Amino acid sequence: MNIDNMKVSIRPLSTPQALDLGMAMARHWFVPLWRIWLGMALPIYIVFYLGGMLLNINFGIGIGAFGGVIFWWLKPLYEMPMVSWLGQALFTKPPPIKQTLKAGWRSAKPYGFTMLIKRRLSLHRQLILPIVMLEKPDKQALKDRAQILLRGQGGALSWHTIIMLHIEWIISLAAVILLWQLLPTGLVKMETLFTILEYQGLWLELAWSALYFVAASLIAPFFVAGGFAVYLTKRCLLEGWDVELVFKQLRQRYLAAQSNPLNQPVHGADLSSTLSSDPSTNISTHISASINSDPNDGYKGER
């Protein structure tokens, strides 16, 4: 990672502040992240869920619900290429969506077991994903690295996962209620409702699965970007990225002063103004605007 080219103003933040930065990143890059998720998730949805419902219609094999469970269980596979894309978009140039999708399917082989079996039900999955995709550690290194980055996080990451999960269901249920309110009055009677549930259960299951698919696709960019922002701020804290950027700025000013003898040397006031300035040299203003608060506010750790 070349931190000189980072497109956000990165500095040590508390976990809630880092999650807020992730929300801003997800809003800014929502469309490409959403397209990556669709490119990974839609084939799985069609094969397992819709394929299972088709078997139920033609052969009476009721595995539609089982296909829905498989689709839900494979969600880490849809999120892994999103992390890779974010890493390149922040530090270099955003890669093409097709290239990211191809790399996503290839990355599923070496790390699929870890993310789908050992770490699938972890409430910190959004922080494990950047470690896996960007650092590519082995088994023991992943365990040690996760322990280091999770230290001092408290329950903010767990609550982030729980809240995102509930928002998925809230959006799905809200869509169902909206469709129900749009039905003609004659279909809203209880007798008619029970008749629909009895004879049209397959179509209702299809509608519910489609609504959940849309809700999951809308939430995924915010879930992944939140964990990615926490990962960045934690590395900034541990490795001193903000301090490194400040000293690079000072070195550039010193070299510029040496190259031009008419320039005055840096005085104490200039040094203090440099240290208090924003350390980032390439800031996306519409992303960093959401974290204008004191970078150490609410943070209780130590460098």
DSSP string, the chain: --GGG-SS------HHHHHHHHHHHHHHTHHHHHHHHHHHHHHHIIIIIIHHHHHHHHH----HHHHHHHHHHTHHHHHHHHHHHHHHHHHS-PPPHHHHHHHHHHHHHHHHHIIIIISTT-TTHHHHHHIIIII---HHHHHHHHHHHHTT-TTHHHHHHHHHHHHHHHHHHHHHHHHHHHS-GGGSSHHHHHHHHHHSHHHHHHHHHHHHHHHHHHHHHHHHHHHHHHHHHHHHHHHTHHHHHHHHHHHHHHHHHHH-TTSPPP-HHHHHHHHHS---SS--HHHHGGG-S-TTTT-----
pLDDT category at 299 given cuts 50, 70, 90 is very low
pLDDT in the model for residue 166 = 94
pLDDT, residue 294, reads: 47
Q: 81 versus 248: which is more confidently predicted?
A: 81
Are 141 and 77 within 8 A, CB to CB? no
Instruction: Give percent above pLDDT 90 in the chain.
Output: 20
Q: What is the mean pLDDT of residues 176-180?
A: 79
pLDDT value at residue 278: 45
At residue 61, the pLDDT reads 52
Q: What is the dihedral of CA 244, 245, 251, 253, to 10 degrees?
A: -160
Angle at 104 between CA 100 and CA 105, to 5 degrees: 125
Q: What percent of the chain has pLDDT over 70?
A: 65
Report the alpha-carbon distance of residue 25 to residue 1 in Å, rounded. Answer: 18
282 vs 22: CA distance, rounded Å? 18
pLDDT single digits (tens) 7-22: 677 777 788 888 998 9
- pLDDT tens digit string along 90-124? 887 888 998 889 888 887 777 788 888 888 888 88
Closest CA to 108 of 162, 43, 52, 158: 43
| Residue 55: burial class (beta carbons within 10 Å; 0-12, 13-18, 19+) | middle
Query: What value does the mean pLDDT of the chain take?
Result: 75
Among 27-41, 70-84, 186-200, which is the least confidently predicted range? 186-200
Distance CA 18, CA 228 (A): 9
Instruction: Please report the pLDDT score of residue 180 as a whole number.
Output: 75
